[in-house]
Amino acid sequence: MGLVSVFWEILKKPTIGDVVRELLIFIAPLWVAVIVGVLVGWAWKPKWANIGREMFMDCSGSKNSAPAESSESSSSGFGSLPSLNLIKFQLSSAISWISDDGPQKDSFFLSPTLHSNCSSSQNEKEKLGFLTDDDLEHLYKLVEEKDGGPAWIHMMDKSTPTMVYQAWQRDLEIGPTQYRSRTVFDDATPEMVRDFFWDDEFRSKLKWDEMLLSAETLESSPTDGTMMVQWVRKFPFFCSDREYLIGRRIWSCGRTYYCVTKGVPYPSIPRKTKPRRVDLYYSSWCIRAAESRKGDGQLTACEVLLFHHENMGIPWEIAKLGVKLGMWGTVRKIDPGLRAYQTERASGAPLSHSASMAQINTKVTQDYLRSLESNSNDSSELETHNSSEKPGKNNIPKLVVVGGAIAVACILDRGLLTKAVIFGVARRFAKIGRRL
């Protein structure tokens, strides 16, 4: 009743200006407390903060090599409670992001296709056998929307004079948000787009991917084109840069190309504190010819279906907000990069090593792909309405999201998380308030 009486006294002020001023005075200490709490959380890390992180297995050398299901069921009795499992995973991710001073321990073992198979020997991994037909099957089912996952929720439709872009997202019970996109490039062949995405040397030279600091080919197979590459990507200054050890391979069926890239363990490269290694990484494309927007019925355009998710060591809600704000700004830089690549290739410039490896593919038939599809009757759906928050998928309390967004926005001038975060979160929080 005391709180109600205070509000009543404020509302009894004679003018609207007085009411607003009194409300600001009343609420300001709460916001200050939230911001101070977030800043203190960044600066101070208690000893018990590593407890949650030790619960997770590290695929490339962890002491605990038991299956993920066993680990979950033995951790404080959380195995039978999915909601508590979710809280446990999110807490570890948040602690890992705040500390940002050690190897990433919160890799999620979702399936052999989403993460590398830890049961295989390290020697086999280093013989470039870490990408198999299981990875092709998984990507093919994603393309055909028969992977058995939840429905995809529509995010955006954007276009330029020479490119069309659509994006969807979905959340699993455990693990980071997954993204699906469809991009159509006018006047481009599937082979040119395939080489363009594979060409790390051109990506580094032109800087159309501004986050890429360095790229190095560790191994490559002249037999099937499998590659092992090491990337270092730039993150905002409050986070360390990220290291990726990526296995890559391409399967072809006619002029349709299934390009798989994912994080794999590679013991020859020791884990370092900085740059921090990202273990869970999946980014794969289906590249194929498409009909031109000119309406002439000619297959002179190229369609790219991308499926992407990764655990960057940033709380999922903050990562989702950053992706939503920065996705189109990043994607629209791809088209100028592709046009520059077409010009360079037309000039007769020699192929880089990465681009030449992109032309070594494992050929499969349409009958073989249909046999993969018949292995499962599961399907996922595409939802056409805009994304909205799902009940039960609330990884971080609303107040922490708001306070954290304000603190991050106040220290950033550029990048994915900008001061626009304040307005987006404020609108979302206002809607919650109206419902209450």
CA distances from 142 to 54, 147, 379 (A): 32, 5, 9
Cα angle 246-247-249, degrees, rounded to a multiple of 5: 140
Tell me the one-letter amino acid at 149: G
Residue 225 confidence (pLDDT) above 60: yes
Confidence of residue 41 (pLDDT cuts 50, 70, 90): low
Mean pLDDT value across the chain: 74
Work out the pLDDT band at 62, boundaries 50, 70, 90: very low
Q: Which of 360, 194, 382, 197 is nearest to 288 (CA)?
A: 194
DSSP E strand stretches across 234-327: 242-253, 256-263, 276-278, 281-290, 301-310
DSSP state letters, 24-87:
HHHHHHHHHHHHHHHHHHHH---GGGHHHHTTS--TTT-S--S-HHHHHHTSTT-TT-HHHHHH
Residue 182 forms beta bridges with which residues? 166, 305
Provide the pLDDT confidence category of residue 266 given band limits of 50, 70 and 90: very high
Across 55-81, average pLDDT: 38
Instruction: Name the residue with higher pLDDT: 364 or 296.
Output: 364
Beta strands, E only, 311-422: 362-363, 382-386
Nearest-angstrom CA–CA distance, 158 and 334: 13
pLDDT band at 27 (very low <50, low <70, confident <90, very high): confident
Least confident of 55-64, 385-394, 421-430: 55-64
Residue 1: DSSP 8-state: -
φ, ψ dihedrals at 360, nearest 5°: -100, 105
CA neighbours within 13 Å on the CB side: how many for 97? 20
For CA atoms 75, 76, 80, 82, the dihedral sign is negative
Structure-token pair, residue 88: 């446990």
| pLDDT higher than 60, residue 142 | yes
Closest CA to 58 of 292, 338, 276, 317: 276
**Residue 42: which pLDDT band, with cuts at 50, 70 and 90?**
low
Which band of pLDDT confidence, cut at 50, 70 and 90, is reported for residue 270? very high
Beta bridge partners of 278: 244
What is the reported pLDDT for 195? 97
pLDDT at 342: 97
Res 82: pLDDT: 39
User: What would the mean pLDDT of 83-100 be, rounded to a whole number?
Assistant: 43
Please give the DSSP secondary-structure letter assigned to residue 283.
E
- Which residues neighbour 378 within 8 Å (Cβ) at sequence distance 6 or greater? 146, 147, 148
Local confidence band at 48 (pLDDT 50, 70, 90 cut-offs): very low
Reported confidence tier of residue 91, pLDDT bands at 50, 70, 90: very low
Q: Return residue ranges of the chain for CATH 3.30.530.20.
A: 133-373
Of 204 and 97, the structure prediction assigns the larger pLDDT to 204
The C-alpha angle 325, 311, 167, rounded to 5 degrees, equals: 40
Per the model's pLDDT, the better-predicted residue between 230 and 113 turns out to be 230
At 365-385, the pLDDT tens digits run 999 999 987 776 555 656 544
The band of 186, judged by pLDDT with boundaries at 50, 70 and 90, is: very high
Residue whose entry in the numeric block shows the structure tokens 């609303």: 398
Average pLDDT on 395-406 reads 49
Could you give the CA distance from residue 111 to residue 152 in angstroms, rounded to a whole number? 19
Domain 133-373 -> CATH class: alpha beta
| 360, pLDDT greater than 90 | yes
19-38 mean pLDDT? 77
Q: Which residues contact 161 (CB under 8 A, 6 or more apart)?
A: none
Over residues 125-139, mean pLDDT? 81
pLDDT band at 296 (very low <50, low <70, confident <90, very high): confident
Q: What's the number of CA atoms in the CB half-sphere (13 Å) around residue 178?
A: 21
What is the pLDDT at residue 128? 66
